[in-house]
Amino acid sequence: MPISASCAPPTTRRGSGVTEVAAWSLRLHGVGNASAVALGSAMATIERDGAPWLTIDCGGEGLTAFEAAYGDTPRALFMTHAHMDHIAGFERLFVASYFDEARRGNVRLYVPVTLLPLLHQRVASYPNALAEGGANFWDAFRVIPVGDHFWHDGVRLEVFPARHHWPDTAFGLRLRGSLVWTGDTRPIPEMLAKFADADELVAHDCALQGNPSHSGIDDLEREYPRALLARCLLYHYASAEDGAALRARGHRVGMPGEVVALRDPAGEQPG
Ligand SMILES: [Zn+2]
């Protein structure tokens, strides 16, 4: 699968060798852990025809990177969990969305239903969203609680539990046939056997060393078959040096700002 590290849309070769812009791609806004500010918040946007389609999480550095890439703020997001490096951009996104009448209430926010109370506590419970009153935090958004799947723009996406801190608080996302995004997680071989069985690119939490919160490369090499590891794109590492070490071990490692071509998803409905 070709990789473009520039801001240009990724290209892919199809048919008779003609190079076309990939219809689907993934832009990595950040690939670092919560302390690796220089690598950016672990956050990405699925692009369609080079335009943002669905953004995964809303960290502080990640939102800044989104704005730099597109000159805009996200209009559709999926939330994996409520750690700060994944949600710290929400106050800014509220302001940007609430004070734009065309956007107010129209920024789609897909939230796993068991995550909703946590997200509300962490970003939306501040007394008076506006000092002058008259607004609820969620007025800026169109919140869509989701279970094990949801539809966005006519395409079906699947949601699965990850292993990160506490059950039912962290989730991964699957765009069948195209992408699996694990979110923050320990190894989840049983989930990926089910939710990554259609040759997807698997963007996976991975650092050089694991811990009770996150995967390390020893964990993944022990628990995942080689064919799955070959489809993994590792992110959420501690430093550029650690990224280089992961790469030296033969793994594919995401870079901040990188745009990766994706295969077309299999779940789209006609019309
Ligand atoms: Zn986390």
Q: Mean pLDDT per segment of 10 residues, for the chain of length 271 residues? A: 44 51 90 87 96 97 96 98 96 97 97 98 95 96 98 97 96 98 98 98 96 96 97 95 96 96 79 43
Q: Closest by alpha carbon to 111, among 71, 77, 140?
A: 77
| CA–centroid distance, residue 233 to ligand 1 (Å) | 18
What pTM does this model have? 0.91
Q: Is the dihedral of CA 189, 191, 197, 203 positive or negative?
A: negative
Instruction: Please give all residues whose CB falls under 5 A of ion ligand 1, grouped by chain where several chains appear.
Output: 83, 184
Q: How far apart are CA 238 and CA 149, in angstroms?
A: 31
| CA–centroid distance, residue 111 to ligand 1 (Å) | 15
| CA–centroid distance, residue 102 to ligand 1 (Å) | 32
Q: Residue 253 pairs with which residues in a beta bridge?
A: 234
Q: How far apart are CA 166 and CA 205, in angstroms?
A: 16
* Contact criterion met (CB below 8 Å) for 89 and 62: yes
**What does DSSP assign to residue 263?**
P
| CA–centroid distance, residue 39 to ligand 1 (Å) | 15
| CA–centroid distance, residue 216 to ligand 1 (Å) | 14
The pLDDT of residue 151: 97
